[in-house]
A and B are shown apart, each in its own frame.
Chain A
Amino acid sequence: MQIYLPIAEVSVNAFLLLGLGGIVGLLSGMFGVGGGFLITPLLFFIGVPPAVAVATGANQIVASSFSALMAHLKRKTVDFKMGSVLLAGGLVGSALGVYVFTLLKQLGQVDLLVNLFYVVFLGIVGGLMMIESLNALRKSKRQGPTKAKKRGRGIVQTMPLKMRFRASGLYISAIPPFLVGLSVGVLSAIMGVGGGFIMVPAMIYILGMPTKVVIGTSLFQIIFVTAFTTLLHATTNYTVDIVLALLLLVGGVIGAQFGTQIGAKLKAEQLRIALAGLVLIVCGKLALDLLLTPSDLYSIGTS
C-alpha cells in the first residue's frame, strides 16, 4: 500500500515503514538505544530526503523510547535523579551541537563530517563493548558467578558536588554525569540521533552504573533530548513529516514492547555483545561507503 508523505514529497510503501519502525522499536526496547543510528540511514536508503529523515527519526525515537520507558517504570529500573542530571547536560549540549552544526554547514562537507563521526564513534564504542563483554563472559564461565566488582576509584570519585543516586546505588559527583549528558547532546545534534549507543556504554564504564538501571535511565534522557530536537527541526527547517512519523511509530511502539521482554530475559553480557555487534555492523557499512568507489561520483545536492 503506497502512501504519499506530505512533507517528504515521496510515495513509499506503508508496510515497509511499519516493519522498519518495528525492528528499530525492538532494538530500542532491548538495548535502551533510540535506534536513530539505524533508522536515519535506512530512511535515506528508501528515498526519504536526508533532512526529513533526520528530523522525523527524532520524533519516532520519542515514541518508541516512551513506550519502552513505560515498561521500565513498571520494573522500577529508572534512576530519575541520574536521568535529570544527564538531561540537564544533554539540553545544554544539544543547543551547543546545533550551533556547531550550523558552523560546519557554512564550511560545507557536513555530510562527510557526520559520516566520519558515525564511523569513529560507532567503531570505538562497538569495539570496546565487544572486547569488554567477551572478557566478562569468559570470566563468568570460568569462575562461576562474578564477584561484585569493586567500583569507586579514579577521577569520578574525587570530584566535588557529590550526590547520592539511590536507584543506581552510587554516591558520586554530579559533574561526570552532567559532562556525559553534555557530550552526548553535542554528538546527537551533529549526528541527528538520540545518542543512546554512546550514553549506554558511558554510563556503564565511566559512571559505573548497573546495566539494568542504565537502559531505563538512558531512555528517560533520550525522550527529552529528541523531543527538543524534533521541535527545533519543526520550527527551523520544517522537515518533520508527521505521516512518516506515525507509520514508523506504530511499528516502533509495538516492537519496543517485545524488545523490553526479550531484554529482560537475556543476560547483561549477552545484551552487550549483541548491541556491540550491531553497532559494529552499522559502523562497517558506513566505513565501506566512505572507502569504496561510489557507483556514481556525482550526486544532486539540496540547495
Chain B
Amino acid sequence: MRFLASLVTLVFLSLPLAAEELVLGLSQEEVRITTRFDGSDILIYGAIKRDLSEVDPEDEPLNVIITVAGPSGPTTVWRKERVGGIWMNTDSVEIDRAPSFYAVATTAPLPDILSETEDLRHKISIPRAIRSVGAPRNIEDAESFTDALIRIRERNGSYLVYEKSAQLREDTLFDTRITLPANLTEGEYTTRIFVTRDGAVLTHEQAPILVRKVGLERWLFTLSRQQPLLYGLLSLALAVAAGWGASTFFQLIRR
C-alpha cells in the first residue's frame, strides 16, 4: 500500500492537471514462459486523478472495469449434426476476430456499470470483444456459434469474468489481480482500464503486457521454425539415443 501511495503522489506531482487523469501500473510488464511455467498472476493497479473542487457529492459512485486481452485471430467454429447415424461436422462459421485470452474484472456487476452503447463502442464485455461480421448465408443462427465459442473458452479458462473482484478505494485507488492460465500463447497482450459512472465511460487507459517464451523454450521454438530439418533430425537423434540407451542400460543391469 505504501508503494501505491508513493506512486500516486509521484504521478500527481509529475502530470499536468487535466479534467480526468488515469494512471495505471502492472506488477509485471513481461510474462516469461519458461519450461516450468504454469500460469502467472498479474497485479493491475492505478489511480484516478480527480479535481476535488469539481466533485459533486450527489454524483453516482465511480466504477472501474479492467480487461486483459490476448492476441486476436480468426477462429472457425464447427457444429456437428447426425448424418446417417454418425455425428459429423456439417456447418461452420468463421469468426473474424476472437482473442485467444480475455479476462474482465470489475468493481460491480458489468450490466450495472456499463451501458449497452458504451460496451458497443469500447468492446468491453466478452461477446463484444469478439467480432463476427459475416456468417455464410445458409446459416441462420450465426449467434449460436459465437455463444459456443465463448462457452468453450470459458470452460477451459481462456475467457474469464471476475465480477466485483476489482477494488476501488475512495474513488481514487484501484487494484485487481488477474490470473493468466498455464496454456498461454505468445504475443502482445493488452490491458485496458475503464472508469465509468452511471453506465458511461469517463476515461480509459491501456498498457501492453508482453508474453514470450524464454530460455530453452525460446531456443527450441525458434529452431523449429527456422531450421525445421535440423530440428526434426534432432528429435529423431534424441529418440534413437533414448531407445538405444535404455536397451543398453537394461542389458547391463540384467547381467
> Which residues of A does B touch, CB under 8 Å?
1-4, 6-7, 9-11, 47, 59-60, 62-71, 74, 108-109, 111-112, 116, 227, 230-231, 233-235, 238, 240, 242-243, 245-246, 249-250, 252-254, 256-257, 290-294, 296-303
Contact = CB atoms under 8 A, between A and B. Distances in A.
A287 to B, nearest CB: 9
A285 B77 CA distance: 25
Nearest to A235: B228
B183 interface: yes
A230 B236 contact: yes
B87 A293 contact: yes
B152 A296 contact: yes
Contact of B183 (A7, A47, A227, A300): A47
Interface in B51-69: none
A11 B184 CA distance: 9
A136 to B, nearest CB: 31
Most chain B CB within a 10 A radius of its CB, from A10, A234, A252: A234
Interface string B71-94: 000111111111001111100101
Given A240-B235, A297-B79, A11 B38 contact: yes
Contacts of A238: 224-225, 228
B186 interface: yes
Contact of B220 (A3, A71, A242): A242
A238 to B, nearest CB: 5
Contacts of B220: 6-7, 242-243
Nearest to B224: A238
Interface residues of B, number: 63
A112 B183 contact: no
Contact of B232 (A69, A231, A257, A292): A231
B30 to A, nearest CB: 16
A71 B249 CA distance: 11
B128 to A, nearest CB: 19
Interface in B219-237: 220-221, 224-225, 228-229, 231-236
Contacts of B171: none
B88 A9 contact: no
B235 A300 contact: no
Interface of B: 33-39, 74-82, 85-89, 92, 94, 144-145, 148-149, 151-153, 182-186, 213, 216-218, 220-221, 224-225, 228-229, 231-236, 238-240, 242-248, 250-251
B217 A4 contact: yes
Most chain A CB within a 10 A radius of its CB, from B37, B79, B82, B236: B236
7 contacts: A11-B39, A59-B239, A233-B232, A243-B35, A253-B246, A294-B80, A298-B79
Nearest to B248: A70
Closest 9 CB pairs of A and B: A66-B243, A234-B232, A11-B182, A298-B148, A253-B246, A70-B247, A63-B239, A67-B243, A2-B38
Given A63-B240, A253-B246, A297-B80, A231 B86 contact: no
A151 to B, nearest CB: 32
Contacts of B236: 59, 62, 227, 230-231
B224 A234 contact: yes
Contacts of B38: 2, 4, 11
A70 B244 contact: yes
B182 A300 contact: no
Contact of B77 (A60, A243, A294, A301): A301
Nearest to B253: A257
A257 B246 contact: yes
Most chain B CB within a 10 A radius of its CB, from A65, A68, A233, A301: A301
B182 A301 contact: no
Contact of B243 (A65, A235, A293): A65
A293 B86 CA distance: 9
Contacts of B89: 108-109, 111-112, 299, 301
Most chain A CB within a 10 A radius of its CB, from B36, B37, B94, B235: B235
Contacts of A301: 75-78, 89, 92
Contacts of B76: 300-303
Given A10-B182, A67-B247, 11 more contacts: A4-B33, A9-B186, A63-B238, A63-B240, A65-B243, A242-B231, A243-B35, A249-B243, A257-B246, A294-B80, A298-B144
B87 A290 contact: yes
Given A299-B80, A303-B75, A67 B246 contact: yes
Contact of B182 (A4, A71, A245, A249): A4
A3 B243 contact: no
Contacts of B224: 6-7, 234, 238, 240, 242
B228 to A, nearest CB: 4
Given A245-B238, A256-B246, A240 B85 contact: no
Contacts of B244: 66-67, 70
A231 B87 contact: no
